[in-house]
Structure formats: C-alpha cells, structure tokens
C-alpha cells in the first residue's frame, strides 16, 4: 500500500512574523481568480500571493506590509477574523506555501480554508481576537520580530516572550507532525469502505 507521502513535517518553527490587518480576508484577496488555472510549478507563483494588494498593474509594488523588509521574509502571518473565507480554492494555500509560509494565526478561519491548510502542512492557529491584536501590534512596533511555534506543545511564543497555548484536533496534529498524506491513510480502510458501500447501496437502492 502506498504509504502516506511526505509533506514537510511540522514540529517547531520560528520566523519573522507579518501582521495582516484585514478582517474577513477572503481567498480572492489571497490569490485572485485569474491565477487559478496556473500550475503550482509556475515560477511566478510566489507573486500571486496577495497579488492585487501587493502590485500595481504595471508590476510595481504597492504600499503593503508584505512587500516591505523585514516583513517580506516573514513565514508566519498574524491575521484578523474570518481569515480565508469565501472561495474553496486551495490555490490560496499553494500561494502561501510557495512563499514558505508555514503558519497563519487568526481569531477564526473560513472552514474550507482551514482544512486546506492542514492538508498542505500550513498550520492554522486560532487565538482570541485580543491576543491576535496584541501580536499584530507588537509586530508593527518591532518590525522583524519573531514568533516561535511548538506544535507538539501546542504553544507559541510572541515577540515579548509571552507564551500562548492553542487547541488543535489530535489527528490534525499527528498528521502535521509526521507530514502524512491522508489518501494513503484512508486507503488502509479500503475493505471497510467497500463493505459500507455494499450495505448502504442495498439499504438505499434509490441512491446508488
């Protein structure tokens, strides 16, 4: 059986963090629709992230936090409520990953985007609105400040060394820690799926 292929395992991770002060930041902002047909191997992919917030039509840069040093090297984002709402496009996570972003911290996430993150080794962390606001303020005040994440411990340390605990589903954690691919894992239930389908289709013949 094809055993779960490797995503990059996520154990501890520290990086410059970027404050993104946009409430309800939808996936159309994270990656505009016109890039959705592009292959993930496109060398321009990193530029698709926040493209219309970052670039003018002539390709010159706009005044946007992620364009500026030292934030442009940030691989952890601290966002606002309802991050990644809207379209189910997984390309939003592809664009994050193309820039080396490993974690987004926000008070809440769009449900589909949250699971897309987990499936691509990007750790979505829910902290309270107040904590996210504190972190974003610190990151504005000290550009280049780092956040350190310990997934095993389910904690992160902010620029002022305050530690915050976060919740994550144990199986999501297990998969991220080990970089496991879900299809491979599910295929271990092959017989159970077949047995279920047989019973289900016999019981609900109208549905089969």
Residues making contact with another protein (CB under 8 A): 2, 5, 21-24, 26, 28-29, 32-34, 36-39, 52, 57, 80-82, 85-90, 93, 108-113, 115-116, 119-120, 133, 169-171, 182-183, 186-187, 189, 192-193, 196-197, 200, 204-207
Tell me how far, at minimum, the Cβ of 115 lies from another protein, in Å.
Answer: 7
Closest CA to 135 of 166, 114, 96: 166
Examine residue 31 and say whether the peptide bond preceding it is cis (omega within 30 degrees of 0).
Answer: no
- Rounded to whole angstroms, the Cα distance separating 170 from 17 reads 25
Tell me how far, at minimum, the Cβ of 193 lies from another protein, in Å.
Answer: 6
Of the pair 5, 11, the CB lying nearest another protein is at 5
Of the pair 133, 146, the CB lying nearest another protein is at 133
Of the pair 16, 49, the CB lying nearest another protein is at 49
Determine which helix (DSSP H) or strand (DSSP E) holds 12, and give its type and residue range.
strand 12-19
Of the pair 177, 183, the CB lying nearest another protein is at 183
State the Cα angle at 95 between 101 and 75, rounded to 5°.
Answer: 15
Determine which helix (DSSP H) or strand (DSSP E) holds 175, and give its type and residue range.
helix 170-178
Tell me how far, at minimum, the Cβ of 7 lies from another protein, in Å.
Answer: 10
Of the pair 14, 81, the CB lying nearest another protein is at 81
Tell me how far, at minimum, the Cβ of 148 lies from another protein, in Å.
Answer: 26
Tell me how far, at minimum, the Cβ of 133 lies from another protein, in Å.
Answer: 7
Q: What Å distances lie between residue 80 and 25, 33, 87, CA to CA? A: 8, 22, 17
Sort strands 155-157 and 163-165 into parallel, antiparallel or unpaired. antiparallel
- Rounded to whole angstroms, the Cα distance separating 9 from 11 reads 6
């Amino acid at each position: 059986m094809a055993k779960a292929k490797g995503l990059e395992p996520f154990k501890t991770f520290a990086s410059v963090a970027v404050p993104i002060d946009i409430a309800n930041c939808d996936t159309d902002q994270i990656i505009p629709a016109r890039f959705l047909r592009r292959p993930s191997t496109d060398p321009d992919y990193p530029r698709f992230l926040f493209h219309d917030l970052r670039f003018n039509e002539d390709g010159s840069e706009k005044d946007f936090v992620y364009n500026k040093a030292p934030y442009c090297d940030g691989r952890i984002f601290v966002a606002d409520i309802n991050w990644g709402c809207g379209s189910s496009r997984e390309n939003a996570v592809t664009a994050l990953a193309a820039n080396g972003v490993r974690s987004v911290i926000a008070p809440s996430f769009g449900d589909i985007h949250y699971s897309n993150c987990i499936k691509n080794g990007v750790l979505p962390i829910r902290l309270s609105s107040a904590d996210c606001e504190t972190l974003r303020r610190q990151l504005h005040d000290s550009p280049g400040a780092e956040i350190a994440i310990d997934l095993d411990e389910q904690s992160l340390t902010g620029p002022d060394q305050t530690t915050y605990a976060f919740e994550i589903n144990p199986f999501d954690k297990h998969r991220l820690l080990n970089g496991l691919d879900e299809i491979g894992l599910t295929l271990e239930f092959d017989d159970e799926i077949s047995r279920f389908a047989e019973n289900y289709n016999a019981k609900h013949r109208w549905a089969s």
